[in-house]
Amino acid sequence: MTAAAQAAADAPERGRAPRRRSAALAVISAAQLMFLLDATIVNVALPSIQRSLGLGGAGLEWVVASYSIAFGGLLMLGGRAGDILGRRRMFAAGLALFTCASLLGGLASQPWLLVVCRAAQGAGAAAASPAALSLIAVTFPQGPERDRAIGWYTAVATAGGGLGLLAGGVITAWLSWRWVMLVNVPIGVVLLAVTRRVLPKTPRRHGVFDASGAVTGTLAALLLVYGLVSASSGHGGRTRPEVLAALGASVVLLAVFVAVERRGARPLVPLRLFTGGRRAGVYAVLALISTAMFGVFFFLTLFLSRVWGYSALRIAVVYLPLTCLLVAGARFGPRLVALVGARALVCCGLLTAAAGMAWLSRIGESGGYATGMLVPTVLVYAGLGVTGVPLTLAALADVADEDSGAASGLLTMARQIGGATGLAVLGAVVWAAADDAGHTGAEASGAALSSGISHGFLAAAAVTALSLLPAAVAVPGKPAPDTANAETAENAANTTGPDEG
């Protein structure tokens, strides 16, 4: 066959490749949205669940916590399993488990079954979520095309928490709390039906699975997330013996895990990912941002409900435009990275968010909506919104194909652990400040709670400002023109080749 004939034969395939990649991105983003949405969609439905199943306060906490513990604790294992067993295979298996658990949870008639199903949802999300992000890394060539894909992925994923509150409020008000679980079933079935058609198949990698690393690392992560989630309780949770024991055991197991990984031939988390310290610094920034953001998100919701008397649906509507800011920041992140560089964008975003959190600390019991809440929260969400894409790109830059699942799992885990830490650390500040006024966390008056939350927002501002230190060191700056031109030429060459999927 002549070169011209071969080129003519390859043309339809090249035309289909971008469409396949776009379809793959749509499936991956929709699944990730569903996983992250489920972390918050149940919150608004908790009073209805309590009335329906007769749950006590501790049981309600476990309905929320069981998902976070399983999701955050199993991410390392899920990420490495995708590298070894195949990303598409793990994505489909995790999605199937999540969908089945959603169906059983929506039909649950006993509290224990609902908690078990929530934990199974978290396990399914932990298996599929790292595979989803690593599939983007292997589907889209590094450069502008991957930057745009991660921008869309981050925008959709970022909307999960806010849309979860909105969807939970609407579904609970108009249908039933069971539909906050059952709504996942038709979405999951559709995504499973098209997964094999649009997602590229990645090969299984032969070798011995790191069993000792899997046991020590997974237990360390599970105990750490459990301890942090339990410590976030405002009822003495930080000093309960089982919480202290869980946190102490996680530290010991983490040290054992690092020692095991140094000697392992196929480690669960390849320590080469942390060579030079840049990627570790990026993970630290992500954890610190999540610490501040989750804490602000939780305690702002509590303030609006307890101090200003907002209904659940009204709170959800309040968050909708703020969530749109996060989505817009993620959507335009790739263009801003190309314009000013990742480091400058991240540092400016963090400074803006820290200023907004400090301003938000003045919201007060009688503060007005416009200047007391709207303007500072716009600064917070706009500042954090532009950091998502450059930090994700920095975390996945120069990662070998066989390690992309582990790197993706660590990235998501940094966010999950940061979120649990935010509730624990900022919760300690809030409840301690409320206790100083002579009230317990559960019985704090509006004035005491308002004072405590103001202290919490100041602590969040300090944590966000602290994240500037690793960001200035670990996030790469704007590439030199010669380097950028070379990368553009290489990416153009890659995109004209045959599609690997």
For residue 6, give both structure tokens.
Answer: 């071969």
Place 121 in a pLDDT band, splitting at 50, 70 and 90.
Answer: very high
Average pLDDT over residues 424-432: 75
| Per-residue pLDDT tens digits for 50-70 | 778 876 655 666 777 778 778
Range picked from 26-30, 318-322, 468-472 for highest mean pLDDT:
468-472
Residue 332 is given by DSSP the state: S
Place 312 in a pLDDT band, splitting at 50, 70 and 90.
Answer: low
3 state SS of 357? helix
- Locate the domains of the chain by residue range: 20-205, 210-265, 273-491
Phi-psi region of 54 (alpha: psi -120 to 50; beta: other; left: phi over 0): left
pTM for this prediction: 0.72
The reply to whether 20-205 and 273-491 are identical in fold is yes
| Per-residue pLDDT tens digits for 273-310 | 777 678 888 888 988 888 888 778 778 877 887 788 77
Q: Are 79 and 134 in contact (CB under 8 A)?
A: yes
DSSP for 399-447, written as a single string: --GGGHHHHHHHHHHHHHHHHHHHHHHHHHHHHHHHHHTT--TTT--HH
% the chain with pLDDT above 70: 78
The label of the residue with tokens 């930057």 reads: 147
Place 2 in a pLDDT band, splitting at 50, 70 and 90.
Answer: very low
Please tell me which residue, 20 or 491, carries the higher pLDDT value.
20
pLDDT of residue 235: 52
CA angle 147, 136, 119 (to 5 degrees): 125
> What is the Cα–Cα distance from 272 to 257, expressed in whole angstroms?
15
> What is the Cα–Cα distance from 190 to 276, expressed in whole angstroms?
42
State the sign of the Cα–Cα–Cα–Cα dihedral 13, 19, 25, 26.
negative
Place 201 in a pLDDT band, splitting at 50, 70 and 90.
Answer: confident
Place 22 in a pLDDT band, splitting at 50, 70 and 90.
Answer: confident
Q: Where are the alpha helices (DSSP H) in 108-240?
A: 111-139, 144-158, 160-174, 179-182, 184-198, 211-231
Domain 273-491 is found in CATH 1.20.1250.20: yes
pLDDT of residue 495: 37
Q: Are 466 and 289 in contact (CB under 8 A)?
A: no
Domain 20-205 is found in CATH 1.20.1250.20: yes
